[in-house]
């Protein structure tokens, strides 16, 4: 049987193909983005799409399921917050075709604004939870989730974490199994959740949960690996890999189906080991339930509930291995590298169209209500031009709230949001300020892509996930359609025009939108000539205040790295001495 090295995300996509998924939807978000990117490669058999947000993704998946097809919906952990509304009701209605929801959690916040343990969503919604510990399991659990979904009439949550999503391991490759679309049958008592019908389905959920508890006792993805019985471990997901390596002689109860728990299996395992540990990343999800069963365990009283676990942490906290030994091991590992990795602080790309906006906002000393996207880097030095970032789509409502709280913010505050994020959930905030008569000025940074997660398409970009041409959303008309009468366009590198326009709109007593247009450098098909420093340079370092990585101070002189220079001319716009020219390397001041 052929095998292939795959990340967990690639394996989930392969599972969608092999196990008969017909519809897949997502909004991009690390660490889940590659799931849909890889599913789109099977466009001949699976329809796939980027939806405007995770709630819509799940609604598409629910619709496909009710229509009789197997469906998969993927999102990062915070995306499930957005999708929680349909989630909490589809648990009542159940499914027709199998429905699997992927939640890719991010312990350690490698690329996220918070750290949350979405296993609690399974318990909250009373739906089954699966947790793979490698890529092979990630693929197989897509199939298992679809089977469970159809057998028990429920959506299934498949939870991965960053290490599973992005780590590579071998996966067996099989052919696709075609699963026919189930015939549609009108059933308003099942799919119309008015109170009278929902009360009946509430009873169905509890009965289903009891049946799932029985299933949890017998499914082979929950199994015991007996070894020495001095230490027993109950674990799931990637924590199984850490436990297996850190405690090679321990007996382990591995839970691939981790909600509802197999209580009889846990009681039996606990009765046969001298000391029982619950090893799980983040919150004491299993530990709390097992303690409630009256089982004596060690868990978060020994292990941290912040960030990722590691083999070293387990050996230190459980075996009492000294810090000195751990530090020595770390030193050996560090010495294996021939050269230390250079420090590389996060920064906006050279030529990024957002740089001119944040340079201007900082110059104007405005309060900036920001949002989620690569433009969040505008909060960092040397730009330091963002005051708040909370969640997707927050910025406009947040600015409105600040102005309500303190009239001093009016005329001094702007909301900043990207095109994809605006369509995700930001548009709701704009409707709110129009409806409630706010005067907030909103800047939509339209770079024609979803840049932060890797240039995925969105309803503004003119292409679908499967590469087909798409009708573009006209942001100007959209803003006017929801009641904003003052909508303007600006160029991010024309700083004078941009500043004048922002000043003009801040002085107006009604809501306004400035759409700042320029494509991300990774989707811009235009070519621009790089710039160089000439003899007029006084080394005043004003050009360094824009934070462009192409501009460096070398041997006491400002130089332009022409390998990095995009030719946006922003540095020449801020130079007071006409010291920056268009021109190739060789005229001086380049490296």
Q: Give the residue carrying structure tokens 């919604």.
A: 125
460 is in an annotated binding site: no
Whether cis (ω within 30° of 0) applies to the bond prior to 382 is: yes
Fold topology of 2-182:
Rossmann fold (3.40.50)
Strand partners, 81: none
Count Cβ neighbours within 10 Å for each residue of 572-590 and write b for 16 or more, e otherwise.
bbbbeeebbeebeeeeebb
What number of CA atoms fall less than 13 Å from residue 14's CA on the CB side? 21
> Is residue 383 a contact partner of residue 355, using CB atoms and an 8 Å limit?
yes
Closest CA to 299 of 320, 314, 321: 314
C-alpha span between 42 and 301 (Å, rounded)? 46
CATH 3.40.50.970 range(s) for the chain read 2-182, 353-517
562: left (phi over 0), alpha (psi -120 to 50) or beta: alpha
548 is in an annotated binding site: yes
Per-residue pLDDT of the chain (591 residues; tens, 9 = 90+): 799 999 999 999 999 999 999 999 999 999 999 999 999 999 999 999 999 999 999 999 999 999 999 999 999 999 999 999 999 999 999 999 999 999 999 999 998 999 999 999 999 999 999 999 999 999 999 999 999 999 999 999 999 999 999 999 999 999 999 999 999 999 999 999 999 999 999 999 999 999 999 999 999 999 999 999 999 999 999 999 999 999 999 999 999 999 999 999 999 999 999 999 999 999 999 999 999 999 999 999 999 999 999 999 999 999 998 765 555 555 655 565 556 666 777 889 999 999 999 999 999 999 999 999 999 999 999 999 999 999 999 999 999 999 999 999 999 999 999 999 999 999 999 999 999 999 999 999 999 999 989 999 999 999 999 999 999 999 999 999 999 999 999 999 999 999 999 999 999 999 999 999 999 999 998 889 999 999 999 999 999 999 999 999 999 999 999 899 999 999 999 999 999 998 766 545 566
Question: Could you give the C-alpha distances from 420 to 137, 314, 444, in angstroms and in order?
Answer: 33, 41, 10
543 is in an annotated binding site: yes
CATH of domain 526-590: 3.30.70.20
User: What is the Cα 109 distance to its own chain's centre?
Assistant: 10
Whether cis (ω within 30° of 0) applies to the bond prior to 260 is: yes
391 is in an annotated binding site: no
How does DSSP classify residue 341? P
520 is in an annotated binding site: no
C-alpha span between 165 and 159 (Å, rounded)? 10
540 is in an annotated binding site: yes
From the candidate CATH numbers 2.70.70.10, 3.40.640.10, 3.40.50.920, 3.30.390.30, the one assigned to the domain spanning 222-319: 3.40.50.920
How does DSSP classify residue 486? E
Query: Residue 294 contacts by C-beta under 8 Å, 6 or more apart in sequence?
Result: none
Grouping H, G, I as helix, E, B as strand and the rest as coil, residue 405 is helix
Query: Residue 195 contacts by C-beta under 8 Å, 6 or more apart in sequence?
Result: none
Residue 400 tokens read as 């409105």
CATH of domain 353-517: 3.40.50.970
User: How many residues does the structure list for the chain?
Assistant: 591
């Amino acid at each position: 049987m052929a095998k292939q090295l795959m990340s967990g995300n690639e394996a989930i996509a392969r599972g969608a193909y092999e196990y008969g998924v017909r519809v897949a939807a997502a909004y991009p978000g690390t660490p889940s983005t590659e799931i849909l990117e890889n599913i789109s490669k099977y466009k001949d058999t699976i329809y796939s799409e980027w939806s405007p947000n995770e709630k819509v993704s799940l609604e598409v998946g629910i619709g496909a399921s009710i229509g009789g097809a197997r469906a998969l919906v993927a999102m990062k952990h915070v995306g499930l917050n957005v999708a929680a509304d349909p989630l909490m009701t589809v648990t009542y209605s159940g499914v027709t075709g199998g429905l699997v929801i992927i939640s890719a959690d991010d312990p350690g916040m490698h690329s996220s604004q918070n750290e949350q343990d979405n296993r609690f969503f399974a318990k909250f919604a009373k739906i089954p939870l699966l947790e793979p510990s490698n890529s092979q399991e990630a693929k197989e659990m897509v199939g298992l989730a679809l089977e469970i979904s159809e057998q028990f009439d429920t959506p299934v949550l498949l939870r991965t974490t960053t290490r599973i999503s992005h780590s590579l391991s071998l996966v067996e490759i099989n052919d696709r199994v075609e699963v026919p679309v189930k015939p549609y049958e009108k059933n308003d008592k099942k799919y119309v959740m008015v109170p009278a019908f929902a009360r009946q389905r509430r009873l169905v959920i509890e009965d289903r949960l009891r049946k799932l508890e029985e299933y949890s006792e017998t499914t082979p993805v929950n199994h015991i690996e007996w070894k020495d019985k001095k230490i027993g471990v109950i674990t799931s997901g990637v924590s199984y890999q850490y436990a297996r390596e850190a405690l090679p002689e321990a007996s382990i109860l591995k839970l691939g189906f981790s909600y509802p728990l197999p209580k009889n299996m846990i009681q039996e395992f606990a009765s046969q080991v001298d000391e029982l540990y619950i090893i799980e990343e983040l919150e004491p999800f299993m530990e709390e339930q097992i303690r409630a069963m009256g089982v004596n365990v060690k868990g978060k009283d020994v292990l941290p509930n912040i960030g990722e676990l590691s083999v070293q942490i387990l050996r230190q906290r459980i075996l009492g291995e000294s810090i000195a030994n751990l530090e020595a091991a770390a030193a050996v590992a560090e010495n294996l590298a021939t050269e230390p990795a250079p420090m590389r602080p996060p920064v906006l790309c050279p030529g990024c169209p957002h740089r001119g906006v944040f340079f201007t906002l900082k110059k104007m000393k405005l309060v900036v209500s920001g949002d989620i996207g690569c433009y969040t880097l505008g909060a960092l030095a040397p730009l330091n031009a963002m005051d708040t970032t909370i969640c997707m789509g927050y910025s406009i409502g947040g600015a409105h709230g600040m102005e309500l709280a303190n009239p001093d913010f009016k005329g001094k505050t702007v909301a900043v949001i990207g095109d994809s994020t605006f369509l995700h959930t930001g548009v709701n905030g704009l409707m709110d300020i129009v409806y409630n008569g706010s005067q907030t000025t909103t800047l939509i940074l339209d770079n024609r892509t979803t840049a932060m997660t890797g240039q995925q398409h969105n309803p503004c970009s003119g292409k679908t996930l499967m590469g087909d041409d798409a009708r573009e959303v006209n942001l100007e008309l959209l803003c006017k359609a929801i009641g904003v009468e003052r909508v303007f366009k600006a160029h991010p590198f024309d700083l004078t025009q941009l500043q004048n326009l922002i000043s003009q709109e801040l002085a107006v007593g009604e809501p306004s939108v400035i759409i700042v247009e320029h494509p991300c450098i990774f989707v811009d098909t235009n070519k621009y000539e790089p710039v160089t420093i000439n003899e007029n340079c006084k080394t005043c370092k004003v050009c360094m205040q824009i934070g462009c990585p192409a501009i460096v101070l070398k041997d006491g002189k400002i130089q332009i790295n022409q390998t990095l220079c995009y030719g946006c001319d922003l540095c020449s716009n801020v130079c007071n001495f006409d010291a920056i020219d268009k021109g190739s390397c060789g005229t001086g001041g380049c490296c």
